[in-house]
Amino acid sequence: MSYRRVLLTAATVAAGAVYGPLLVSRRPIRRRWLPTLAGLGRPDHVALTFDDGPDIRSTPAVLDGLDRHGWKATFFMLGTMVDADPGLAKEVADRGHEVAVHGYTHQSHLRRTPSDLRADIARAASAINRATGQVPYWFRPPYGSLAWGSWAGAHHAELHTVLWSAWGRDWRPSRAPSEVVRDVAGQLAPGATVLLHDSDCTSAPQCWRATVGAFDGLAELFDRQGLTVGPLRDHGLGV
């Protein structure tokens, strides 16, 4: 191999290492080219997911709202929140929901080393398993920011990485439930994975109230499109 080709190959690998994670973190790109990463599953189903809990101030209200609609969901939990209230994490699992890994701390993976990410993901998975008795299957990084160390850490913990294809932007301040519904509706497609939050620990105070308030509107939206609601384990991603 020529010296010039060696340099070109090295530059290509370096560019992929820097820009690859940023590209797959962009929702339109992953929806088209990486549908499993985007959470696009069965066309008659919508996977409902929640990030950042469990939180005693808000998760019980989310659970009660889900019960009213007969919905089960997947909860991507932070290890710090689980260790702060393992009983609440167990309640989520005991009420029939799926638990998953969101990391131990809520920090962007783009600023962390591979060894740090591997330890963080493993620590979170262990905390969730210890509290709930469930072995997590899914992983989603904070902010949806995937670094190569995220993939490696998740693989080492025997987790499958999934992001989302629609969200309610429910972390923003002063959101109305109708705005959450509108944002989900604008991105909803058959087989979507919807991202919401059951805690405001990393976002605007009290923003979870708009999430809970949006459940009735979301139910009408899903019904109009003929979508059943459930967790990722029922979504047919084929991972």
Find how far residue 235's CA is from the centre of its chain.
Answer: 14
Identify the H or E element spanning 8.
Answer: helix 3-24
| Higher pLDDT among residues 36 and 91, named by residue | 91
Average pLDDT of the segment spanning 9-29 = 41
For the stretch 185-199, pLDDT in tens is 999 999 999 999 999
Average pLDDT, the chain: 88
Average pLDDT of the segment spanning 23-35 = 52
| Higher pLDDT among residues 36 and 134, named by residue | 134
Q: How confident is the model at residue 108 (pLDDT cuts 50, 70, 90)?
A: confident
Q: Is the predicted pLDDT of residue 135 greater than 90, yes or no?
A: yes
Q: In the chain, what percentage of residues exceed pLDDT 70?
A: 85
Give the gyration radius of the chain's Cα atoms: 18
Find how far residue 8's CA is from the centre of its chain.
Answer: 36
For residue 77, the cross-strand partners are: 101
Q: How confident is the model at residue 10 (pLDDT cuts 50, 70, 90)?
A: very low
3-state secondary structure of 152: helix
Average pLDDT of the segment spanning 155-169 = 96
For the stretch 167-178, pLDDT in tens is 999 999 999 999
Q: Is the predicted pLDDT of residue 7 greater than 50, yes or no?
A: no
Q: Rounded to whole angstroms, how far apart are CA atoms 91 and 54?
A: 10
| Higher pLDDT among residues 9 and 27, named by residue | 27
Measured at the CA of 160, the angle between CA 165 and CA 83, to 5 degrees, comes to 95
In the chain the domains, ranked by start, together with CATH numbers, are 3-234 (3.20.20.370)
Which residues participate in catalysis according to the annotation? Answer: 51, 197
Q: For the whole model, what pTM was predicted?
A: 0.87
Buried-state track 18-46, b at ≥16 Cβ within 10 A, e below 16: eeebeebbebeebbeeeeebbbbbbeebb
28 phi and psi angles, rounded to 5 deg: -60, -35
CB-CB contact of 214 with 170 (8 Å): yes
First-last CA distance in the chain: 37
What is the token pair recorded at 42? Answer: 């069965």
Identify the H or E element spanning 101.
Answer: strand 98-101
**pLDDT for res 36:** 87
Q: How confident is the model at residue 212 (pLDDT cuts 50, 70, 90)?
A: very high
